[in-house]
Amino acid sequence: MKEGDLSPGAAKLREAFKRLRERWDAISDQWHDVKERELREDVLVPLEPLVLAATDRMNHLAQVFWQIRHECVEKT
- Domain membership of residue 69 (yes or no) is yes
**Residue 7: per-residue pLDDT:** 84
pLDDT at res. 5: 76
In a domain, 51, yes or no: yes
Q: What is the pLDDT of residue 2?
A: 63
Would you say 16 and 54 are in contact if contact means Cβ atoms under 8 Å apart? Answer: no
Domain count, the chain: 1
The answer to whether position 1 is within a domain reads: no
* Confidence (pLDDT) at 3: 64
Indicate whether 42 belongs to any domain.
Answer: yes
- Please indicate, yes or no, if residue 23 is contained in any of the structural domains: yes
pLDDT (tens, 9 = 90+) of the chain, 76 residues, equals 566 678 899 999 999 999 999 999 999 889 999 999 999 999 999 999 999 999 999 999 999 999 998 999 877 6
pLDDT at 73: 86
Cα–Cα distance, 46 to 30 (Å, whole number): 22
Residue/partner pairs of 54-60 with CB below 8 Å, 24 or more apart: 54/10, 54/13, 55/10, 55/11, 55/13, 55/14, 56/10, 58/6, 58/7, 58/9, 58/10, 58/13, 59/6, 59/7, 59/10
In a domain, 2, yes or no: no
Residue 41 lies in a domain: yes
> Which domain does 68 fall in, by range?
7-75
